[in-house]
Amino acid sequence: GAGGWSPLDSNEQQWLQVDLRDRVEIVAVATQGRYGSSDWVTSYTLMFSDTGHNWKQYRQDDTIWVFTGNSNADSVVHHKFLHSMKARFLRFVPLKWNVGGRIGLRVEVFGCSYKSDIADFDGRSSLLYRFNQKLMSTFKDVVSLKFKSMQGDGVLFHGEGQRGDYITLELQKGKLSLHINLGDSNLHFSNSHMSITLGSLLDDQHWHSVLIERFNKQVNFTVDKHTQHFRTKGDSDHLDIDYELSFGGIPVPGKPGTFQRKNFHGCIENLYYNGVNIIDLAKR
């Protein structure tokens, strides 16, 4: 209709989709009713997507957020998000509208361009980060990344040492598992191995954030704002990794293109290990 968007049928199955042409950071929205009419939306929800096919609801405090809309056709109602969203597509989904009119909307979306380092993995590839020395022995490790997966199984990163130390992050049936072992595998495997699992349905092709913080035996494992605090067992406080860390799979030494477990199939974004930007380093 003239003066704004007004669908033929006014019901809860209607939505207005905006294509922002590229993945951007969205920080706020504003709405009006249809110009010179009795058509305006009094409440609505927002959905966002990178592809235009898989959609996610905007949430606050783990609740689908309902935005207050308009009370007339011309006043602007502006909402700044508590948490910005990164997406190409945005949908306004009207829930209620003026009882004396129909659904009517004019919208504006506020944000900025969003540049990030993204690595694509096709299920047959991996990234290797080699240390400057043969052995990396650490008392503190911080790994942060965002990932989007096409499949429910696959190794996101792995490191191991000849004395039995290892750390592995992998998807298993849509859940994310962190495996860690501090100490000699032959002597302490039964009491130093830990496996912690968080999340579910993480293979939904949406971005999920991961943060792993280890200081000595204390580990914080966070997936999408949900944190598991745990303490590793064993006699050692340090993690000994030989030569390299692998991201996207666990290569078999001496056999290029061969991997120990199922490779990750999807995208990894903003990948940092102890402050090192792994993806940016790989591009160089």
CATH of residue 127: 2.60.120.200
Please identify, among 113, 145, 175, the residue that sits at the C-terminal boundary of a domain. Answer: 113
Contact 220, 227 (CB under 8 A): yes
Instruction: Give the pLDDT mean for 264-275.
Output: 92
Please identify, among 90, 113, 136, the residue that sits at the C-terminal boundary of a domain. Answer: 113
Please identify, among 71, 89, 113, the residue that sits at the C-terminal boundary of a domain. Answer: 113
Same domain? 105 vs 54: yes
In a domain, 6, yes or no: no
In a domain, 79, yes or no: yes
Q: Full-prediction pTM beyond 0.85?
A: no
Tell me the one-letter amino acid at 168.
T
Residue 255 pLDDT: 56
Paired tokens of 161: 């040492």
Same domain? 28 vs 159: no
Residue 117 pLDDT: 82
In a domain, 4, yes or no: no
In a domain, 9, yes or no: no
Q: How many domains is the chain partitioned into structurally? A: 2
Q: Across-strand partners of 219? A: 214, 230
In a domain, 2, yes or no: no
Tell me the one-letter amino acid at 136.
M
Task: Dump pLDDT digits (tens) for 112-130.
Answer: 988 778 899 988 888 888 8
In a domain, 240, yes or no: yes
CA distances from 12 to 67, 101, 157, 256 (A): 15, 15, 43, 54
Determine the structural domain holding residue 255 and report its residue range: 118-283
Task: Dump pLDDT digits (tens) for 171-217.
Answer: 999 999 999 988 755 544 445 578 999 999 999 989 999 999 999 99
